[in-house]
């Protein structure tokens, strides 16, 4: 480019030379003035160009920073990791005497150190628990990928080698190159210390936040192992002066007006933009955790407790409830946790009634429905209802409705369509797990219950006895075991048929359940034998309960057929822990022996009673005619 001032100077010089005149002082001042003006003009142009270049460089850095923060929001749950890490790295680099250009290179590498995680599958980054060996191998590729992404970017300072080596260890056990000690670039070692400290002092999907003291202790332990010992010492001395809270990057090098304006625009928009990115991946984290949680539990209550614990991160609630049933028999609440949870857990609804019934019948979700509708449909309006909005979704597994998932909130109209979308997604995952849990509980109940009487079976009894005896030994209390056997029950089956005998067993089971305490366990042991476990019961109480049970059974006259009453007797033997034994085998053997002695005693009493009645009958037959009313009385006595 030809500047006008340069052209003017050339013309003046040519004219003076052409005339052959001696250059006078005035001419010299003219030439000097023109030269000065040209130099000033060029200098100002260079300064403006430098400013423009600096601004452009700053904008480029702001763009890189924005993209790096987007990656950070995608990978992290606590946010601002790279901001803190960059702040730590700058301070540590200055403290060890690194040049300004190298400091800027380290700060840029801190921004981009995890860019290679773009090549790591989402389910691995989102995994809340420990990684498998195969998953960790996949994680280990991110430094190499990051290096390959940025190695051809013409940064004026080294960046790519620092990204490549930021997971190398001082002891040589790092990756991807296995470098050791001072072979690792200084900038990469600075990044490693900064990254290590920040990672352990914030919540991550796979670890909980450490306190500052614990983090410093861990840093000392890793000194000379994972981390450069000299840098660790400097960092620990420097740490009290470092701001540990989330903060923006220092912009001492980029304080130009245009860069400041660009940063303000970025920072004004980053909260919303990065929050949206983080929320999107938080949804993946939560769904992954829910899937993992529901796969680790079989019981319905445990499954729901895990789901509720993970669900609150996505869809807030004051109370979470599960309703189970079908469209024909109605539904009832099987789980409720939170505000008014005890009241909600008592809700039982007829088919199609209440929010849960409507959702199950129509296979559609309800948003901001009225929670009181469930209480009203169950004829149990709460005394002081606190819940004011409900979000209810059907649970559909294999095209079969197994129940509904209900979230309640104390605020009016709290839930949005976005909440409904999230709960629908979770319900899709949860439905199969809840269906499996229901089937598991039904199968488990069947395996631990007697099909005929509904009482627990022997498998349940042995597990229960093991727990009760261990607890009694620990607390120094007693446990009584009663072994019961029906008297002459074979005659009922032989005379009236097994279907009548089954009916009699069910009736006896009902009476036994009603006679013992709610927390005692009554078991059908085998055939016509039963076992009752009485917690915290000594010998005197066991004897009293034995007599009470015998009287209760004796007082009931079972009708084998209309007009055909049958009285059932019961022989019982008792044993008490620890007086009669310290194992359930010993206790059962002792109680069983005493039961047979009781049966023998009752049988001999029964024989004497029949012989006595026969003698009375013979005497009555020999009495004179005037006493013929006596047989009638005797007959009446026999009936009673």
Which tens digits make up the pLDDT trace of 481-516? 999 999 988 888 888 888 888 999 999 999 998 889
Residue 446's nearest CA partner among 437, 456, 436 is 456
Residue 123 and residue 106: Cα distance in Å, rounded?
30
**What does the alpha-carbon distance between residue 598 and residue 490 come to, in Å, rounded to a whole number?**
18
- 216-247: per-residue pLDDT in tens? 899 999 999 999 999 999 999 998 888 654 43
Average pLDDT (307-321) is 86
What pLDDT is attached to residue 630?
A: 32
Positive or negative, the CA dihedral 314, 318, 324, 325 is negative
Residue that has been written with the tokens 């499996």 in this structure = 436
pLDDT at res. 632: 32
Looking at every residue in the chain, the average pLDDT score rounds to: 77
Both tokens assigned to 264:
């303000």
Query: Which residues, 6+ apart, have CB-to-CB distance to 410 below 8 Å?
Result: 318, 339, 386, 387, 388
On the question of pLDDT at 294 being above 80, the answer is: no
Q: Please write the tens of the pLDDT for every residue from 323-351.
A: 988 766 788 898 999 998 888 988 988 88
- Model pLDDT for residues 254-289, shown as the tens digit of each residue: 333 434 444 444 444 445 555 555 555 556 666 666
* CA gap 545, 555 in Å, rounded: 15
- Say what percent of the chain tops pLDDT 70: 70
Which residues, 6 or more positions from 19, have their beta carbon under 8 angstroms from its beta carbon?
Answer: none
Predicted local distance difference test score (pLDDT) of residue 207: 61
What burial letters (b/e) apply to 254-285, b meaning 16+ CB within 10 Å?
Answer: bebebbeebbeebeeebeeebeebbeebbbeb
pLDDT of 134: 83
Of 58, 79, 253, 89, give the one whose Cα is nearest residue 162: 89
Judge whether residue 445 has pLDDT over 70.
Answer: no
DSSP 412-465: TT---HHHHHHHHHHHHHHHHHHHHHHHHHHHHHHHTB-TTT-SB-HHHHHHHH
8 A C-beta contact, residue 587 and residue 581: yes
Residues of the chain with pLDDT > 90, as a percent, come to 34
CA distance 638 to 640: 5
pLDDT tens string 13-52: 444 444 444 444 444 444 444 455 555 556 565 666 656 6
How far apart are the C-alpha atoms of 571 and 479, rounded to whole Å?
20
What are the DSSP calls for 257-311, one per residue?
A: HHHHHHHHHHHHHHHHHHHHHHHHHHHHHHHHHHHHHHTS--SHHHHHHHHHHHH
pLDDT digits (tens, 9 = 90+) for 349-395: 888 889 999 999 999 999 999 998 988 888 887 656 789 999 999 99
Residue-wise pLDDT for 164-178, tens only, equals 999 999 999 999 999
pLDDT at residue 71, rounded to an integer: 64
**136 token code pair:** 């960790």
Residue the block writes with tokens 């840029």 = 108
Task: Tell me which residue of 304, 290, 320, 303 sits closest to 390, measured CA to CA.
Answer: 320
Alpha-carbon span 603 to 571, nearest angstrom: 10
Q: How far is 339 from 386, CA to CA, in rounded Å?
A: 8
* CB neighbour list of residue 491: distance below 8 Å, 6 or more residues apart: none
End-to-end Cα spacing for the chain: 133
Please write the tens of the pLDDT for every residue from 518-567. 889 999 998 899 999 999 999 999 999 999 999 988 888 888 888 788 88
Query: Does this model's pTM top 0.85?
Result: no
Phi, psi of 287 (to 5 degrees): -65, -40
pLDDT of residue 254: 37
pLDDT at 156: 82
pLDDT on residue 303: 79
The whole-angstrom separation of Cα 196 and Cα 189 is 11
- Span 48-94, pLDDT tens digits: 665 665 565 555 566 666 666 666 665 544 446 788 888 999 999 99
Signed CA dihedral, 352, 355, 356, 360: sign only: positive
How far apart CA 604 and CA 593 sit, in angstroms, is: 17
* Cross-strand partners of 483: 531, 573
pLDDT of residue 8: 40
Would the pLDDT of 145 be above 70?
A: yes
DSSP 131: P
Give me the pLDDT at residue 264, please: 47
Instruction: Flag the least confident range among 92-96, 310-314, 466-470.
Output: 310-314
pLDDT confidence of residue 447: 72
């Amino acid at each position: 480019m030809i500047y006008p001032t340069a052209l003017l100077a050339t013309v003046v010089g040519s004219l003076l030379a052409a005339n052959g005149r001696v250059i006078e002082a005035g001419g010299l001042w003219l030439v000097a003035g023109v030269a000065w003006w040209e130099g000033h003009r060029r200098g100002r142009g260079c300064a403006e160009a430098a400013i423009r270049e600096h601004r452009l460089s700053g904008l480029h850095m702001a763009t890189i920073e924005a993209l790096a923060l987007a990656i950070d929001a995608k990978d992290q749950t606590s946010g601002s990791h790279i901001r803190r890490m960059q702040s730590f790295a700058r301070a540590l680099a200055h403290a060890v005497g690194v040049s300004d250009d190298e400091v800027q290179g380290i700060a840029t590498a801190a921004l981009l150190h995890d860019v290679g995680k773009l090549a790591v599958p989402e389910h691995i980054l989102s995994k809340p628990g420990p990684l498998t060996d195969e998953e960790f191998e996949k994680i280990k590729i991110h430094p190499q990928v990051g290096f390959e992404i940025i190695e051809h970017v013409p940064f004026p300072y080294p960046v790519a080698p620092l990204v490549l080596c930021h997971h190398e260890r001082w002891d040589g056990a790092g990756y991807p190159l296995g470098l050791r000690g001072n072979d690792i670039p200084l900038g990469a070692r600075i990044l490693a210390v900064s990254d290590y400290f920040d990672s352990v002092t914030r919540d991550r999907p796979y670890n909980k936040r450490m306190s500052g003291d614990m983090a410093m202790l861990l840093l000392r332990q890793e000194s000379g192992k994972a981390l450069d010992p000299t840098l660790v010492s400097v960092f620990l001395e420097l740490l009290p002066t470092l701001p540990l809270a989330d903060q923006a990057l220092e912009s001492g090098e980029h304080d130009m007006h245009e860069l400041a304006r660009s940063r303000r625009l970025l920072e004004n928009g980053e909260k919303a933009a990065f929050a949206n990115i983080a929320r999107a991946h938080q949804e993946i984290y939560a769904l992954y955790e829910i899937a993992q949680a529901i796969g680790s539990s079989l019981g319905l209550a445990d499954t729901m407790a895990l789901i509720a614990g993970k669900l609150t991160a996505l869809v807030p609630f004051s109370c979470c409830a599960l309703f189970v049933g079908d469209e024909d028999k109605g539904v009832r609440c099987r789980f409720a946790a939170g505000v008014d949870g005890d009241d909600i857990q008592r809700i039982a609804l007829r088919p199609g009634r209440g929010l849960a019934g409507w959702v199950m019948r129509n296979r559609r979700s309800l948003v901001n429905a009225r929670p009181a509708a469930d209480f009203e449909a169950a004829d149990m309006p709460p005394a002081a209802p606190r819940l004011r909005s409900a979000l209810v979704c059907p649970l559909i597994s294999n095209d079969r409705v197994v129940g509904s998932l209900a979230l309640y909130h104390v605020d009016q109209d709290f839930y949005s369509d976005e909440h409904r979308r999230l709960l629908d997604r979770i319900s899709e995952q949860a439905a199969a797990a809840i269906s499996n849990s229901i089937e598991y509980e039904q199968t488990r109940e069947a395996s631990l219950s007697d099909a005929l009487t509904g009482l627990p079976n022997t498998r349940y009894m042995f597990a229960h006895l093991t727990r009760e005896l261990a607890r009694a030994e620990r607390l120094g209390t007693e446990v009584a075991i009663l072994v019961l056997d029906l008297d002459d029950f074979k005659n009922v089956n032989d005379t009236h048929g097994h279907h009548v005998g089954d009916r009699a067993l069910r009736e006896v089971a009902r009476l036994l359940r009603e006679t013992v305490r709610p927390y005692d366990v009554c078991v059908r042991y085998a055939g016509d034998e039963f076992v009752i476990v009485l917690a915290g019961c000594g010998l005197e109480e066991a004897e009293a309960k034995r007599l009470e049970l015998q009287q209760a059974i004796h007082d009931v006259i079972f009708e084998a057929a209309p007009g055909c009453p049958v009285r059932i007797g019961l022989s019982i033997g008792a044993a008490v822990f620890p007086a009669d034994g310290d194992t359930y085998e010993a206790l059962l053997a002792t109680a069983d022996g005493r039961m047979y002695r009781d049966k023998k005693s009752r049988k001999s009493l029964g024989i004497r009673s029949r012989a006595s009645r026969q003698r009375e009958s013979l005497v009555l037959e020999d009495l004179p005619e005037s006493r013929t009313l006596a047989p009638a009385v005797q007959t009446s006595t026999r009936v009673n």
